Amino acid sequence: MKILKAFAAMAALFVMAACSNTNNENANAASTTVTPGSVADFRQNVGDRVFFDTDQSTIRQDGRDVLNRQAEWLKKYTNYQITMAGHCDERGTREYNLALGERRANAAKQYLVAQGIPASRIQTISYGKERPDPVGSDEAAWARNRRAVTELQ
């Protein structure tokens, strides 16, 4: 019985991973294997985003774990330029959120720089509350929207 449960959980993970691949050109939807060093590898195995508390730009412990992994990966795959995009939930005014998103992007950038990623590789941009992901007006959606996303070019 226990084994069956564990198997069901793994199957669920497998399906979720496959779903998250569908946006990536290089991803093979039939399996979770992605090309090491690809954008899909970064998103899936490293994590492309960190989250913030309301009206804050301090990198939380969960964010540090993600950024540490990002720094290791980026040191290995030096061919990528990075845009750090800061975002906010909808519960602030448009202009203040542009500034807050910039502050979040800058905080994540500075963390990566402190881990040895050259500042020249990272540009920042703020989308304020203009690009929600996910679209929603509840606590769960807001928590996911207070984010800095590492975009690879």
Binding residue (CB under 8 A) for other proteins from 61, 78, 95, 140: 95
- Which residues share a beta bridge with 67? none
Chain-centre distance of CA 141, in angstroms?
15
- Residue 107: CB atoms within 10 A of its CB come to 21
Q: Which is nearer to other proteins, 35 or 93 (CB)?
A: 93
- Residue 130 makes CB contacts below 8 A (sequence gap 6+) with 94
Q: Which is nearer to other proteins, 72 or 130 (CB)?
A: 130
Interaction pattern, residues 32-61, with other proteins; x per rule: CB under 8 A = -----------------------x-x----
Q: Which is nearer to other proteins, 34 or 108 (CB)?
A: 108
Enumerate long-range contacts of 130-136, CB under 8 Å, 24 or more apart. 130/94, 131/87, 132/87, 132/89, 132/90, 133/87
Instruction: For residue 13, give the amino acid letter.
Output: L
Based on the shown chain and the rule CB under 8 A, indicate whether residue 83 belongs to the binding site for other proteins. Answer: yes
Total length of the chain: 153
Interaction pattern, residues 124-153, with other proteins; x per rule: CB under 8 A = -xxx--xxxxxxxx---x-----------x
Q: Where do contacts with other proteins occur on this chain (CB under 8 A)?
A: 55, 57, 83, 90-96, 98-100, 102-103, 106-107, 110, 123, 125-127, 130-137, 141, 153
